[in-house]
């Protein structure tokens, strides 16, 4: 299926003041600089362009010099690979000198700087990433990328297995770009090559795998693409364990307007808390990501053993102990399963806590209150607070001052 692309959006892109200033500085009679890759692709599709990368005949040291002469800030973020970040009016642009691969080992490439836009394009991964746009508005396409983009097809440049062996992360990128830009089934040659070369994923750093997988999980066709990964034997290896496709599908439907990769990973790969440690090691998760997965696992354990139906009052108790966001994901993941049973008013109550319409109840007592009431400092304070919190949860998590005073009085009488 071929769809029209927006050439007008390319003109609009070139009219951005900071970008135009940049291109005018880096284009003259001897040197040429073009916009390349994602910015061109997204503009043609009518999607937002948030980052702009450029490719140039100018050598890295000369990029630095030109930028400083023009009053731009230049940061050598990847100068050994020919990449300089140039900041114009507060907006960053990555400029990379044209390159040719001299040597590749499946993870890294040794490059030679050149002046040939065609060779630079043909060393890239996918045809839709090799499009470039000149200052004069001309679109350059050396690999058939425009036709593939119109057909919503992700296709390797040249022989797929050769492209993959240059950098095995391209297997992950193939599926991620399919999820974000393609329609229908994956390109047959690319899929076959990815399957044949999958053992190469083992030599990649876990951080690089994690980066691509989390991006894939929030892509437009994440659900269909994750199923493709499962059907072709990739998913178990990536996760180091089994996947829960049904729960993943339900969470994708639930958070489609504001997806969060870590919650989708939770729905896909966390069944019990032990799964979190495996995923932390498998994907080098951050401490915050690990914390969220543990919270999700704890809620799953709690909800699957909750005997009574969940109503608005129960939701109030739950959000007092658990983040509303995590609770929403756990309930979405388990929707339609025998447990928990959820009343309609529970969903409305949770929505109010999530959007801030109703504040999350906060336990009103502190240790200082007990000390002021005459309880000596020590372990007894913590024990009494734990007892008071249990009573507070059972009695509806009230937060009014009169209830707080009455609860404190009861605790002091027991002491």
Is the pLDDT reported for residue 3 higher than 60? Answer: no
> Are residues 384 and 351 part of one domain?
no
The first and second tokens of residue 173, run together, are: 């990128």
- Residue 143 falls within a domain, yes or no? yes
Is the pLDDT reported for residue 104 higher than 70? Answer: no
Total Cβ atoms within 10 A of residue 182? 25
Three-state DSSP at 245 gives helix
- Residue 39 falls within a domain, yes or no? yes
pLDDT (0 to 100) of residue 109: 62
pLDDT (0 to 100) of residue 1: 47
Report the domain count for the chain. 3
- Residue 14 falls within a domain, yes or no? yes
pLDDT per residue over 341-394, tens digit each?
A: 999 999 999 999 999 999 999 999 999 999 999 999 999 999 999 999 999 999
- Residue 166 falls within a domain, yes or no? no
The first and second tokens of residue 178, run together, are: 């399919």
d(Cα 328, Cα 323) in Å, to the nearest integer? 9
d(Cα 127, Cα 34) in Å, to the nearest integer? 17
> Are residues 263 and 135 part of one domain?
no
From residue 381, how far is each of 369, 376, 402 by CA, in Å?
Answer: 10, 8, 21
> Are residues 152 and 32 part of one domain?
yes
Domain termination residue (choose one: 157, 183, 214): 157
**Averaged pLDDT, 387-409:** 96
Domain that includes residue 73, residue range: 1-157
Is the pLDDT reported for residue 405 higher than 60? Answer: yes
pLDDT per residue over 295-327, tens digit each?
A: 999 999 999 999 899 999 999 999 999 999 999
Is the pLDDT reported for residue 397 higher than 90? Answer: yes
- The model's pTM is 0.92
> Are residues 381 and 304 part of one domain?
no
> Are residues 92 and 9 part of one domain?
yes
pLDDT per residue over 37-91, tens digit each?
A: 999 999 999 999 999 999 999 999 999 999 999 999 999 998 888 999 999 999 9
Is the pLDDT reported for residue 137 higher than 60? Answer: yes
The first and second tokens of residue 261, run together, are: 């990769």
> Are residues 149 and 16 part of one domain?
yes
> Are residues 257 and 150 part of one domain?
no
> Are residues 76 and 6 part of one domain?
yes
> Are residues 352 and 249 part of one domain?
yes
Given a contact cutoff of 8 angstroms between Cβ atoms, the answer to whether 222 and 264 are in contact is yes
Give percent of the chain above pLDDT 70.
97
Is the pLDDT reported for residue 18 higher than 50? Answer: yes
Total Cβ atoms within 10 A of residue 238? 23
pLDDT (0 to 100) of residue 71: 97
Domain termination residue (choose one: 129, 157, 185): 157
- Residue 208 falls within a domain, yes or no? no
Domain termination residue (choose one: 360, 376, 399): 360
């Amino acid at each position: 299926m071929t769809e029209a692309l927006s050439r007008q959006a390319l003109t609009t892109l070139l009219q951005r003041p900071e970008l135009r200033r940049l291109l005018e500085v880096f284009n003259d009679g001897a040197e040429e600089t073009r916009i390349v890759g994602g910015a061109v692709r997204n503009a043609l599709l009518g999607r937002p362009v948030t980052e702009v990368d450029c490719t140039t005949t100018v050598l890295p040291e000369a990029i630095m010099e030109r930028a400083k002469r023009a009053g731009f800030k230049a940061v050598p973020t990847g100068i050994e690979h020919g990449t300089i970040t140039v900041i114009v009016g507060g907006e960053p642009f990555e400029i990379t000198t044209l390159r040719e691969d001299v040597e590749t080992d499946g993870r890294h490439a040794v490059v030679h700087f050149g002046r040939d836009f065609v060779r630079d394009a043909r060393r890239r991964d996918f045809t839709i990433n090799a499009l470039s746009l000149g200052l004069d508005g001309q679109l350059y396409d050396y690999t058939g990328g425009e036709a593939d983009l119109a057909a919503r097809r992700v296709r390797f440049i040249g022989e797929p297995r050769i492209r993959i062996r240059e950098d095995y992360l391209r297997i992950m990128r193939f599926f991620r770009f399919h999820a974000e830009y393609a329609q229908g089934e994956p390109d047959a040659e690319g899929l076959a090559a990815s399957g044949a070369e999958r053992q190469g994923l083992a030599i990649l750093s876990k951080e690089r795998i994690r980066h691509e997988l989390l991006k894939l999980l929030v892509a437009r066709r994440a659900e269909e693409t994750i199923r493709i990964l499962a059907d072709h034997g990739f998913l178990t290896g990536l996760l180091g364990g089994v996947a829960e496709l049904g729960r993943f599908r339900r969470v994708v439907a639930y958070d489609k307007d504001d997806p969060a990769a870590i919650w989708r990973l939770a729905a896909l790969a966390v069944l019990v808390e032990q799964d979190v440690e495996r995923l932390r090691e498998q994907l080098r998760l951050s401490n915050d990501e690990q914390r969220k997965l543990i919270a999700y696992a704890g809620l799953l354990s709690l909800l699957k053993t909750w005997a009574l139906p969940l109503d608005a009052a129960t939701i109030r108790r739950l959000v007092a102990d658990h983040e509303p966001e995590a609770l929403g994901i756990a309930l979405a993941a388990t929707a339609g399963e025998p447990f928990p049973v959820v009343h309609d008013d529970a969903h409305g109550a949770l929505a109010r806590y999530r959007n801030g319409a109703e504040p999350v109840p906060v336990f009103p007592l502190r240790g200082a209150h007990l000390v002021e009431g005459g309880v000596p400092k020590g372990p007894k304070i913590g024990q009494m607070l734990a007892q008071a919190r249990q009573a507070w949860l059972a009695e509806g998590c009230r937060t009014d001052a009169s209830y707080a005073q009455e609860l404190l009085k009861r605790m002091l009488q027991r002491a």
